[in-house]
Amino acid sequence: MPTLREQALAVLRQADPGLKAEAARALHLQDDCGEALTLHEPPGLPGRPAEPQLVPHTALKSRPVHTPAGRAALLHALAHIEFNAIDLAADLVWRFGGMPPEFYRQWAVVAQEEALHFQLLRARLQATGHDYGDFPAHNGLWEMARKTRHDLLARLALVPRTLEARGLDASPPIRAKLLAAGDTESAAVLDIILRDEIGHVAVGNRWYRHVCEARGLDPVATYAQLARQYEAPRPRGPFNLDARRAAGFAEDELNALLAN
């Protein structure tokens, strides 16, 4: 059987959205994660379907959620985030060798849960008469993964702890919009996603601090330096501080966020 890291690379290479989600949920968390393997990056990562069309985020139009088309566009945007999140977790598993086995197993579980989120959102999208790929989307999440592909610390700082942590802030107001539109089923999916995403960001916090400690770096000062170096987007409030605390952000980190 392929090691966990090799399985994760296969997930990342899969272009079909449904098959990618199924492969991610089927990741086998064996004892041998392949942490000592040297894996070479194949061309064409990540595997992507022909649709959705990827455009700059500024080209995406905001639509009112109370209309059927607006709600479908919102569900599509959320599904696209979760589709990318499968790739982000799988990329962490295969790309960065030499970490403890628990690192790979935890990120594999994250990939499994992101795949479930994608499947749930895709089902809600299909209930509107649409499917994944019907609306344009942006590639911002993967662009940050590409920029940080040579440095695990930067990846942990700027993807799970920055871009994905923004989902903790965004989820409650999006849920409220769906409820206001009468879509209780999609709002319930958002409840599942927020619960799981708190755990995912916590995994990012744990391993970010692990690598900082191994390199003798201060987590708060290092984060600020990496955010500047890689031109990470500046998080904007309001912030879901309770969810961020539950995800393991320290008070000095939250104070720095609020002062930003």
Q: What is the pLDDT of residue 55?
A: 87
| SS3 (DSSP) at 137 | strand
- For the cut 90, the answer to whether the pLDDT of residue 16 exceeds it is yes
> Taking the model in full, what pTM does it have?
0.96
* Residue among 114, 120, 109, 113 nearest 187 (CA): 120
Bridge partners (DSSP) of residue 137 are 54
Q: What is the pLDDT of residue 31?
A: 77
Task: Please tell me which residue, 59 or 29, carries the higher pLDDT value.
Answer: 29
pLDDT tens digits for 112-137? 999 999 999 999 999 999 999 999 99
Q: What is the pLDDT of residue 231?
A: 93
- DSSP 8-state assignment for residue 68: H
What is the secondary structure of 146-213 as a DSSP string? HHTTT-HHHHHHHIIIIITTHHHHHHHHHHHHHHHTT-HHHHHHHHHHHHHHHHHHHHHHHHHHHHHH
Q: What is the pLDDT of residue 143?
A: 93
pLDDT tens digits for 148-170? 999 999 999 999 999 999 999 99
Query: CATH number for the 4-30+57-259 domain, one of 3.40.50, 1.20.1260, 2.30.30, 1.10.12?
Result: 1.20.1260
